[in-house]
Amino acid sequence: MSTETARGTAGSPSSPYPPAGIAWYSTVLLALLYWLSILDRTVISLLVDPIKADLGISDVQFGMLHGLAFAVTFSLFGLAAGTLADRFSRRVIIFFSVAAWSLATAACGLAKDFWHLLAARVGVGAGEAGLNPCATSMITDLFPPARLTMALAIYSLGASAGSGCAYLFGGILVELVSGADEMALPLIGAVKPWQAVFLIIGIPGVLLALLAFSMPEPARRGTQAGGQAGPAMRDLFSGYPELLKFIRSRGRFFFSHYAGFGLASTGFVGAAAWYPAHMSREFAWSGSEIGVAWLDGVIGATTVQFIRVDTFARWRIQDPLAFFKAVTDERGGQSRLDDIIDGKTRDAIASYDLIEVVRASGRAFEMSEELLSLDLMDRVEAEISMGRERIGEQVLQASAAITPQFGVELVDVRFKRINYVEQVQQSVFQRMISERNRIAERSRSEGRGRSAEVRGRKERDLQRIQSEAYRTSEEIKGKADAEASAIYARAYGRDADFYRFWKNLETFRKTLDPNTTMVLSTDSEWLRYLENAQGR
């Protein structure tokens, strides 16, 4: 029977282990939390350019956010978390650790400047430091030695395959939210897409932290049960002097151990931190494409490739006896040459920029005004130090130094075709389509502006012509009316009766039509005119 002390649950080495189902459930849950920590830790790598653009920070400052702020606090709090795991309930520590780093991740989404984001990343490092000491301690107490290796391997999947899945799911999430300029979240308001990523990833972690209480607190094994050396906080770091003494006694081993792992981690973590930014900047890869490629590389399913190089070679048998002993026949020689040339080609290609491999010389490009507007001159005018032919000569020399041992003389090696792999090719095509669409849209915009200018000038000219025509017509009308009035006046002055008769005719002509019937009285003036016209 176990007893609760200030140092946690203690038990003898002979205490029964929990049922296998509970033990494996706890291991899988701890691996899931480990995966969550990797996701919260690394998702910032997928947001390098958006964060730099919004906060106005440099690559050096971003390196501090991803590396220094996290690593220093993770290391220091890891020591404290290990001490707490030996003395207090590990479930409680895991709960507070998961909740702390999840809240800190969400706080990254509320950052308004570099220092706010730096403080939040410190919180992520401090929170995640508490998981590993407690998890490894619990797994050790959950399984007998015969099953402990498998359990720890499953837990480690949270860091290995989990890191690939973190980039995959994180990349998909980044791609989903990156299309909007801003997003409105309840209780928070408008946030940028990169801030929404942190909030979406961080907030659910607070709820997942409660799952820590669904695991049992296993009896501690290999510890002294029931003893209390004093208040827990008084001797919190009491074991470190003995630990440091033990490390000094084996200083050469521990120095080599920590220096080797430190250098390895520097290279691996540094590459992982900047890999998404590099692929996005150089190849215009989306978040999901970066995640897929990283997952492939982590789990070893495929080799991540960016370009495909087809080569051909001319060779001849120089020493038939050595050729027969080494490769037997032509098929064997061809296979061995393929391996040699492919390896040397890969080494040569990886040593130079892609433009060096594609171009043979620094010949100037003939570029249209449209392409000049895309700011590509710094790339296409890059100085070519080697070129495709000289790199091919390097491959030939390096390969030819190996082939004599197989009785083969390598005469020539040439690059037949260099192209992107299918996945990168599609990204390049999409980028080309986007650039052409941008050029087309700019041309359409200029055309619309020119059209509006022409239409405006046409409207102005039309209004001017109509105004002048109206003025001229009014002047003509005025002159005609004046002349008509003068003619009427002169006619009236000569014969008033005739003028009155003429005006009556005009009036009848305007008011009567062929279907009109008139009734005239005997004293009507019009009847008198008619009678006079007939001679009566």
Question: Looking at residue 156, which CATH number applies to its domain?
Answer: 1.20.1250.20
CATH number at residue 332: 3.30.479.30
What is the predicted pLDDT for the residue at 181? Answer: 66
Closest CA to 215 of 93, 315, 319: 93
291 and 375 together in one domain: no
Residue 185 lies in a domain: yes
> What CA–CA distance (Å, rounded) separates 151 from 139?
7
Residue 462 lies in a domain: no
pLDDT in tens, 78-110: 878 878 887 888 889 999 999 998 999 888 888
260 and 312 together in one domain: no
How many domains does the chain fold into?
A: 3
pLDDT in tens, 382-433: 677 778 888 888 888 888 888 888 888 988 888 888 877 777 777 778 878 8
DSSP state of 18: P
199 and 66 together in one domain: yes
Residue 443 lies in a domain: no
Residue 497 clears pLDDT 80, i.e. is over it:
no
Residue 101 lies in a domain: yes
Phi/psi at 380 (5° precision)? -75, -20
186 and 103 together in one domain: yes
Phi/psi at 416 (5° precision)? -85, -45
271 and 335 together in one domain: no
Select from 420, 454, 482 the last residue of a domain.
Answer: 420
In order, the DSSP letters of 97-159 are HHHHHHHHHHHHTT--SHHHHHHHHHHHHHHHTTHHHHHHHHHHHHS-HHHHHHHHHHHHTTT
What is the predicted pLDDT for the residue at 179? Answer: 64
Using 50, 70 and 90 to split pLDDT, how confident is the model at 4?
Answer: very low
Least confident of 327-336, 392-401, 504-513: 504-513
132 and 170 together in one domain: yes
CA quadruple 146, 148, 154, 156: dihedral, nearest 10: -140
What is the predicted pLDDT for the residue at 286? Answer: 62
More reliable by pLDDT, 80 or 2: 80
> What CA–CA distance (Å, rounded) separates 387 from 385?
6
List of residues 6+ apart from 485 with CB closer than 8 A: none
Range of 392's domain? Answer: 305-420
Which amino acid appears at position 139 of this protein? Answer: I
Residue 428 lies in a domain: no
Kindly report the three-state secondary structure assignment for every residue of 360-394: CCCCCCCCCHHHHCCCCHHHHCCCCCCCHHHHHHH
Residue 172 lies in a domain: yes
Question: With left for phi above 0 and alpha for psi between -120 and 50, is residue 415 left, alpha or beta?
Answer: beta
What is the predicted pLDDT for the residue at 281? Answer: 66
Three-state secondary structure call for residue 416 = strand
268 and 326 together in one domain: no
366 and 414 together in one domain: yes
Do the Cβ atoms of 194 and 54 come closer than 8 Å?
yes
Closest CA to 204 of 36, 397, 423: 36
156 and 293 together in one domain: yes
What is the predicted pLDDT for the residue at 95? Answer: 92
Mean pLDDT for 191-201 is 83
And the tokens for 97?
Answer: 């650790």
Least confident of 92-101, 232-241, 511-520: 232-241
Give the chain's mean pLDDT: 77
Residue 295 clears pLDDT 90, i.e. is over it:
no
- CA angle in degrees (0–180, nearest 5) for 224-226-229: 80
Instruction: Give 3-state DSSP helix, strand, coil % of the chain, rounded to 5.
Output: 70, 5, 25
Using 50, 70 and 90 to split pLDDT, how confident is the model at 367?
Answer: low
Least confident of 68-82, 273-287, 457-471: 273-287
What is the predicted pLDDT for the residue at 292? Answer: 60
And the tokens for 374?
Answer: 């895309």
Least confident of 20-24, 268-272, 397-401: 268-272
Closest CA to 157 of 59, 45, 27: 27
What is the predicted pLDDT for the residue at 284? Answer: 56
280 and 309 together in one domain: no
pLDDT in tens, 125-138: 888 888 888 888 88
What is the predicted pLDDT for the residue at 5? Answer: 36
> What CA–CA distance (Å, rounded) separates 356 from 383?
9
What is the predicted pLDDT for the residue at 393? Answer: 87
251 and 375 together in one domain: no
What is the predicted pLDDT for the residue at 301? Answer: 43
Whether the pTM exceeds 0.75: the reply is: no
Residue 426 lies in a domain: no
Residue 230 lies in a domain: no
Using 50, 70 and 90 to split pLDDT, how confident is the model at 222?
Answer: low
> What CA–CA distance (Å, rounded) separates 239 from 137?
17
Mean pLDDT for 261-287 is 72
293 and 384 together in one domain: no
Select from 298, 313, 339 the last residue of a domain.
Answer: 298
> What CA–CA distance (Å, rounded) separates 321 from 403?
14
Do the Cβ atoms of 306 and 378 come closer than 8 Å?
no
Three-state secondary structure call for residue 410 = strand
Select from 361, 395, 420 the last residue of a domain.
Answer: 420
Strands annotated E in 249-346: 307-317
Percentage of the chain surpassing pLDDT 70?
A: 78
